[in-house]
Amino acid sequence: MSHLETLDAIASIHGDLNENSRNVEPVLVEEVQYQTAVIEQLNDRRIEAIGIKIYSDKRSRLKLVSHLFEEGKVYFYKDRSSDEMIQQLVNFGVEKHDDLADAMSMGLNYIQTRPKETPVRFRPIF
């Protein structure tokens, strides 16, 4: 997927998720290399994008939120739409792909560190 196609896909998903919503959640973007430009380009499209600085490896980031799974605070749909993400989480470290697990950990870390008075509502993108 090209850079422009990626921006268009993000904009489309963001629009679909927030079509009838009063509280529009920001798009979280990992602040590494060229992705910093993505934040600016999404903001230019009037899509609030927040950069997430990365200070550790994927395994460490996932470990920081593992207690949320253990405490039953993370739920998945029963319709199997989350199977790929669950597969990556359960087999993290041996699974060929881990981008969904990494995105999940970044989102959960963001929720834990944002101001408490700001409610968060995340919906699946697939």
The four Cα atoms 47, 126, 89, 48 give a dihedral, to 10 degrees, of 10
pLDDT at 49: 92
Question: Domain ranges in the chain?
Answer: 1-54, 56-126
What rounded mean pLDDT belongs to the chain? 86
Residue 102: which of 47, 72, 51, 63 has the closest Cα? 63
The dihedral through the CA atoms of 109, 25, 51, 113 has a sign that is: negative
Interhelix angle 83-90/99-113, nearest 10 degrees: 90
Structure tokens at 19: 């079509």
d(CA 101, CA 91): 10
7 pLDDT higher than 90: yes
pLDDT mean over 34-54: 90
Q: What is the pLDDT of residues 54-69, one digit of tens each?
A: 888 999 999 999 999 9
